[in-house]
Amino acid sequence: MNLSQKTVAKVAISHKITIPSYDRKNTEIGIVHLGPGAFHRAHQAVYTENAMNLSGGNWGICGVSLRSATARDVLSQQDYLYTLATLDKNISYQIIGAIKEVLVASEQSELVIERLSAQNTKLVTLTITEKGYCLNADGSLDLTHADIAYDLNNSSSPISAIGFIVEGLKQRKAKDIPAFNVLSCDNVSGNGDKLQKAVLDYAEQVDCSLAKWIKNNVAFPNSMVDSITPKTEEYTVNTVSSAIGMQDNWPIQREEFTQWVIENNWQGEKPDWDKVGVIFTNDVDGFEKAKLRLLNCLHSTLAYAGALVGYETIFEVTSDAVFHDFITKLTTREVIGSFEAPKELDVLSYSKEIIERFLNPEIRHLLSQIAWDGSQKLQMRILPIIQDNIALNRPTKLLCFSLACWMEFICRALKNGEDIVDPLADKFAQMPVLFTKDTAKIVDAFLSIDSIFSEDLMDNAVIKNHLITNLNSLRMGNKLHLGKIMEALC
């Protein structure tokens, strides 16, 4: 029996699993979400589900996939219902019904714009990853980006998230419909500010009066999100379907810990998220830095270092005592103290809790997944810590090891002919020096990429020497040798 609106009640009766308690059929769509991937379905959609279970409201979600049709094609066969499997010390299952439809922008751009400009749409949320913002290194919109350039010449049928947001707002302004708010949920520092800048830069190219209207009427709250969410694999489908006694072809898995912090500058309506665990605060920056620097920095470090010695998952690599000791010392010596934590957060306890979360055997979080888009992620997760530590005259040796592991990860993939999932993959492939043994030239070549590295890092002799030394060490041996390098650094 397949999971569907007709069969979902049987799940609750036979397996005592939580299902939607609100009137799903008559709940209208109030949120358009761009990028309905794993994280959104395990995080924002679940908070919205819980808020509607508690208080009702017309906060159904229209998911918009910019290119891939997979989510639509699979979820539409089960009335957009799916199972959240919470895998931790306690294992639980919940059927989520907050998503009411999924559109594919590359095939249904008119319907997407119609939904964005609908009176009932009060909020647009996004999980499009760092590269989806199409930003230059200085934070401005890259007007030469292929997607942005296309959209500016085809504004009524855009392909980028920025283009869709502006076109939706343009039509609302023309129809005298109040603006929606826009909430980024990506792991991007100052995500709301950067999204606002991108939207306004684009709107100014279209119509200066539209840009002014957006600036005066649209809130772009900064936010911070956190919950380890591996992608759905075949074993996930089989395990969850068995647990609920019904076939679910697109379930999602997540750890028990979840956090969502939103800047308290809201305009207009919103779901009752505050009643189901969302924190509204004036210090999103503090929470965000704590998460990016304590969780995401360690994640990326383990992804690249662990991949170099053949580990596959976060659990496996963190269970290795040498790696565990390394990230613990990286945290206490170079990360904590690089930023001012919010007063509500015990940063030392928080950091210990994060490493314990990595040791959850129920969560199979692939290092390969974390390693995707490194050229973008490093700019949020590692480089700002290095820059702040330089300014504060604090050590950077361990952070430079993390960065050197990324460089060696890219070089090995190129030499082995492996696919690199990164927006700069083609650029890396066109840099012959990355195929050589000259580590000094390799480091110079990476540091010369101005879309990743700022001039102060390019010209810093101490950082450069750390990277060359680490890269030389990484090329000298096997797994045991890498462990000795890490121990020596500590």
Average pLDDT over residues 312-324: 96
Kindly state the percentage of the chain with pLDDT values over 90.
87
> pLDDT digit string (tens) for 465-486?
999 999 999 988 666 678 788 8
Say if residue 273's pLDDT is above 70. Answer: yes
pLDDT(436) > 70: yes
The radius of gyration of the chain from alpha carbons, rounded to an integer in Å, stands at: 23
Residue 401: its pLDDT value, please?
97
Residue 425 tokens read as 């993959």
Query: Can you tell me the distance from the alpha carbon of 186 to that of 165, in angstroms, rounded to the nearest whole number?
Result: 16
* pLDDT tens per residue across span 26-41: 999 999 999 999 999 9
CB of 300 closer than 8 Å to CB of 370: yes
Residue 193 scores a pLDDT above 90:
yes
> Each residue of 99-139: pLDDT tens digit?
999 999 999 999 999 999 999 999 999 999 888 999 987 88
Length of the chain as a residue count: 490
Arithmetic mean of pLDDT, 60-80: 96
pLDDT tier at 343, thresholds 50, 70, 90: confident
Mean pLDDT of the chain: 94
Domain ranges in the chain are 8-281, 284-489
pLDDT(381) > 80 = yes
Residue 399 has pLDDT above 70, yes or no: yes
Distance CA 25, CA 455 (A): 55
Statement: residue 147 has pLDDT above 70:
yes
Confidence of residue 188 (pLDDT cuts 50, 70, 90): confident
284-489 folds as: N-(1-d-carboxylethyl)-l-norvaline Dehydrogenase; domain 2 (1.10.1040)
Domain 8-281's class? Answer: alpha beta
Residue 197 contacts residue 141 (beta carbons within 8 Å): yes
Quick one: three-class SS letters along the chain?
CECCCCCHHHHHHHHCCECCCCCCCCCCEEEEEECCCHHHHHCHHHHHHHHHHHHCCCCEEEEEECCCCHHHHHHHHHCCCEEEEECCCCCEEEEECCEEEEEECCCCHHHHHHHHCCCCCCEEEECCCHHHHCECCCCCECCCCHHHHHHHHCCCCCCCHHHHHHHHHHHHHHCCCCCCEEEECCCCCCHHHHHHHHHHHHHHHHCHHHHHHHHHHCCCCCEEEECCCCCCCHHHHHHHHHHHCCECCCCEEECCCCEEEEECCCCCCCCCHHHHCCEEECCHHHHHHHHHHHHHHHHHHHHHHHHHCCCCEHHHHHHCHHHHHHHHHHHHHHHCCCCCCCCCCCHHHHHHHHHHHHCCCCCCCEHHHHHCCHHHHHHHHCHHHHHHHHHCCCCCHHHHHHHHHHHHHHHHHHHHCCCCCCCCHHHHHCCHHHHCCCHHHHHHHHHCCCCCCCHHHHCCHHHHHHHHHHHHHHCCCCHHHHHHHHHHHC
pLDDT mean over 72-85: 97
Place 321 in a pLDDT band, splitting at 50, 70 and 90.
very high
Angle at 113 between CA 107 and CA 118, to 5 degrees: 135
- The reply to whether domains 8-281 and 284-489 share a CATH topology is no
- Read off the pLDDT band of 290 (50, 70, 90): very high
Q: Which pLDDT value is given to residue 479?
A: 64
Query: Degrees (nearest 5) of the Cα angle 369, 374, 378?
Result: 125
Instruction: Quote the pLDDT of residue 446.
Output: 98
Q: Any bridge partners for residue 366, and if so which?
A: 313
